[in-house]
Amino acid sequence: MPMAADEIEALIRQGIPDAAIEITDLAGDGDHYAARVTSASFRGMPRIKQHQAVYAALGGRMGGVLHALQLTTAIPVEE
Amino acid sequence: MTEDVDTRIQGLVDANPVLLFMKGSPLFPQCGFSARAVAILNHLEVPFESVDVLQDQGIRQGIKSFSDWPTIPQLYVKGEFVGGSDIMMEMYESGELGELLGNKGVR
């Protein structure tokens, strides 16, 4: 069963409250998404850990109900 | 049982300097993400071995907890988990992946 984009966004925000999240529905089928997550909490974390933090926020759905999520993580640029 | 799979995975990771866990084979990838990972490694002209997780349900499930990573493909270089296809693409585009492979002496 596919997931809605706002559901994905809500889950990520729950896990990473300060995150700026952009979700793109790549195929328009509610099943292939790209997400760009920007958070200051990623600072100092290797990229693998940043992605693991997002996957943790998704609580095991990644690779399951959410089968295709292209993920990019970033740290906010300092003012 | 789980330990068994972990031991097998560890053995594979130790035995192959560049190892891609993927769906299908490099010539016939069975998933777009795996195809992308193969394309990146081919483009960098790095010799690599691959494990087709579709041929082995134990590894298919086991690799997820082994790496604490929920999806396939997964790239290991010299025993170290590098990431999935998104991280590979990001690192490829920034030149980091080529650099990492060079530093590890596998390219």
- At A30, the pLDDT band (50, 70, 90 cuts) reads confident
Q: Please enumerate in sequence order all residues whose Cβ is within 8 A of that of B83, keeping only pairs 6 or more positions apart, or say none.
A: A47, A48, A51, B69, B74, B75, B91
The mean pLDDT of chain B is 94
**CATH code of the domain containing A55:** 3.30.300.90
User: Where are the domains positioned within chain B?
Assistant: 2-98
With respect to CATH, is domain B2-98 assigned 3.40.50.1370? no
**8 Å CB contact of B91 and A51:** no
pLDDT at A35: 95
pLDDT at A64: 82
Question: What are the residues of chain B with a beta carbon less than 8 Å away from any beta carbon of chain A?
Answer: 32-33, 64, 68-71, 81-84, 86-87, 90-91
| B32, B64, B87: residue with CB nearest A47 | B87
Mean pLDDT of B78-103: 95
Partner B, chain A 39-78, Cβ-Cβ below 8 Å:
47-48, 51-52, 55, 60, 62-64, 68, 70-72
Mean pLDDT of B79-107: 94
pTM (two decimals): 0.89
Residue A11, domain extent: 5-74
A79 assigned to some structural domain: no
Q: B1-48: per-residue pLDDT in tens? A: 556 999 999 999 999 999 999 999 999 999 999 999 999 999 999 999
**What is the tally of structural domains in chain A?**
1
Task: Report the complex ipTM.
Answer: 0.79
A15 assigned to some structural domain: yes
Q: How far is CA B72 from CA A8, B61, B65, B67, in A?
A: 20, 10, 12, 11
Return the HEC string of chain B.
CHHHHHHHHHHHHHHCCEEEEECECCCCECCHHHHHHHHHHHHCCCCCEEEEHHHCHHHHHHHHHHHCCCCCCEEEECCEEEECHHHHHHHHHHCHHHHHHHHCCCC
